[in-house]
Amino acid sequence: MNAQRIRLIIGMMTLALVGVICLQIYWIGWNIRLNENQFDKLVLGAMNKVADRLEYYENAAVVEALNKTRSAGKIREAARYLESGDAYRRVDTAAFKDIKPVDTVRDKSNVDMWEYMKVSQLVDTKPLSERIPLDLLGQWIQEEFDNVGISAARQFGVYSKERNSFVIVNGYFVVEDSSPQVTHGNAATLYNSQYRVAMFQRDAESPGYLSLYFPNRTRLVWGSVIWPLVLSVLFSGIILYCFWYTIRVIYRQKQLSEMKTDFINNMTHEFKTPIATISLATDSILSPIILGTPDKIRRFVDIIKQENRRMNSQVERVLQMALIDKKDFHLSLDELNVHDIIYQAVSNFSLQVEKREGALTAQLNAQRPIIEGDATHIASVIHNLLDNANKYSPDKPIITISTRDVSMGVEITVTDNGMGISKEARKNIFDKFYRVSTGNIHDVKGFGLGLSYVKAIVTAHKGLIDVKSEPGKGSSFMLTFPTRVSEQPVKAVYFPVKEEE
């Protein structure tokens, strides 16, 4: 799959994902607004019913007083009867639980309209606090909100326009003082509340209003959408993670495919040269001119053996990595002196460096060079690092291999003055098949398995590996081997080789 098609797929997936998230946000916002409107409607409806019951209760008391008094001064007697409170006590409050705003007591009685208006005007002149039955107000608020299914904590108060302050707060009369308005505590929240309804609207001007405040209004409104919101966020997070992981896998697979293609191409070139050399040497031996010259035959035979060993070495490296991937790999642990292995590697590799007018030096400073390890694989590790240091040094390689004692064992450092490794490349240099770009240098050969093999062997010894490098300033590979690995056989489960995703 080419890069353009991958970007197109990612763009379409991103657009679809953003669209789904936007729809979820819109739906949740719409649901919250719907809940707010429904809650406000229920609250105001219940408050209006409470106001209607208060007004109906007062009207019923007026009618009761007029029906009770039969004297000539009926209006004055009715007013005194109302003042005594007996008329209010005789009203059956249970009889008008389901009253409607249009209901009036006078329309359902034989009371004279003129008398009713006169007595009502006398009642209307009373202070608002005296017109409110304190015990019934809280009861009726509770009943009306129970009817609409709202049982949340609330505060209520009755505001008097005449006093310019609240006269009742949460079922208690507010003591009058010199301040025009209480602006702290419950009164402040009630004063600023959006839930308020006018009281005694039959008056020429409403004397005040009933106000309610819900401390947990936000939680009430969000209560029905909180779980859908949490699940929506959770599922969106899962989708985003899967989306990110899918993109990562796509690019990883693309990178792996490119590395495998490079590996096959490199392997083809690596094998093509020795095969061609062997074929040419074989044809030369069969030549009648060469058959009569034993020295030349021996020379061509040596060439064939050398190229054959070269191919075997390459095949062996590939097979070793295959064993590591299959987790069918064990170390042959013995006590060994890493200095002896390093001396041997330096001795064998010096000629290659000297051919390029370079220098390979050993600075073996470790006082405790004895470790537990596999001599063959540790030697291969050092050879790989020296080979890389030589290959990736453009001019006259200066390579230093040093050792020093550390707390866990011995640290081996291979330093070169080569082209260096970028920060981005350092993230992948231990991956299989990965090869650092060499710019204009085209003679660097390999399969991209060397550092992957190094990392696997070091980790198999329960050691540590690190690299410090800057482009143009060379590289330093630090390998730390513990003095003792383990009494148990070390298996490939310790290898941090990345598996294909």
Provide the 3-class DSSP secondary structure of residue 444: coil
Q: Residue 270 has which token pair? A: 């690596």
On whether the CB atoms of residues 84 and 68 are closer than 8 A, the answer is no
pLDDT attached to residue 393: 80
Residue 261, classified by CB atoms within 10 Å of its CB into exposed (0-12), middle (13-18) or buried (19+), is exposed
Residues in CB range of 68: below 8 A, 6 or more apart: 78, 81, 87, 90
Average pLDDT over residues 309-313: 72
Q: Residues with Cβ < 8 Å from 385, sequence gap 6 or more?
A: 401, 414, 454, 477, 479
Query: What's the mean per-residue pLDDT of the chain?
Result: 76
User: How would residue 84 be classed by pLDDT, with cut points 50, 70 and 90?
Assistant: low
Give me the amino acid identity at 309: R
The DSSP code sequence of 129-192 is: HHHS-HHHHHHHHHHHHHHTT--S--EEEEEETTTTEEEEETTEEPPP-S-S---SHHHHHHHT
Give the H/E segment covering residue 412. strand 409-415
Helix (H) or strand (E) holding 157: strand 155-160
The token duo for 265 is 């191409």
The pair of three-digit structure tokens given for residue 45, joined into one six-digit string: 């409806």
Position 448 scores a pLDDT of 55
Lookup: tokens for 98: 């389901």
CB 400, CB 363: distance < 8 Å: yes
Angle at 110 between CA 107 and CA 115, to 5 degrees: 90
- Cα–Cα distance for residue pair 322/292, rounded to 1 Å: 45
Q: Are the beta carbons of 137 and 102 closer than 8 angstroms? A: no
Q: What letter would DSSP give residue 225?
A: T
Contacts of 413 (CB under 8 A, 6+ apart): 400, 401, 402, 403, 404, 476, 477, 478, 479
Judged by DSSP in three states, 210 sits in: strand
Q: Give residue 337's pLDDT.
A: 92
CB 297 within 8 A of CB 285: yes
On whether the 248-325 domain is CATH 3.10.105.10, my answer is: no
pLDDT of residue 435: 60
What is the identity of the amino acid at 437? Answer: S
Q: Is the pTM of this model over 0.85?
A: no
Provide CATH code, domain 334-494: 3.30.565.10
**Within 10 Å of residue 202's Cβ, how many Cβ atoms?**
11
- Give me the phi and psi of 201, to 5 degrees please: -75, -10
* Rounded-to-integer distance, Cα 498 and Cα 277, Å: 36
Domain with CATH 1.10.287.130 in the chain: 248-325
Q: How far is CA 300 from the centre of its chain?
A: 66
Q: Which segments of the chain belong to CATH 3.30.565.10?
A: 334-494
**Pairwise CA distance, residues 467 & 459, whole Å:** 15
Q: Identify the DSSP state of 176.
A: P
Give tens-digit pLDDT for 290-307.
777 888 888 888 888 877
To the nearest 10°, report the CA torsion of 279, 268, 383, 394: 100
Banded model confidence at residue 111, pLDDT cuts 50, 70, 90: low
| CA distance linking residue 202 with residue 181, whole number of Å | 26
What does the pLDDT read at residue 402?
93
Burial class (CB in 10 A: 0-12, 13-18, 19+), 113: exposed
Give the residue-averaged pLDDT of 92-114: 54
> Which of 414, 415, 436 has the alpha carbon at shortest distance from 427?
436
Q: What are phi and psi of 368, to 5 degrees?
A: -125, 75
The top-scoring range by mean pLDDT among 52-61, 71-80, 106-115, 189-198 is 189-198
C-beta of residue 461 within 8 angstroms of C-beta of residue 490: yes
Tens of pLDDT, residue by residue over 448-494, are 566 877 888 888 888 998 888 888 888 899 999 998 886 434 443 33
Write the DSSP symbol of residue 494. Answer: G
226-285 and 294-325 helices, crossing angle to 10° = 170
pLDDT digits (tens, 9 = 90+) for 196-254: 888 887 766 788 888 898 887 777 777 767 777 788 888 888 888 888 888 888 877 87
Residue 293 per-residue DSSP state: -
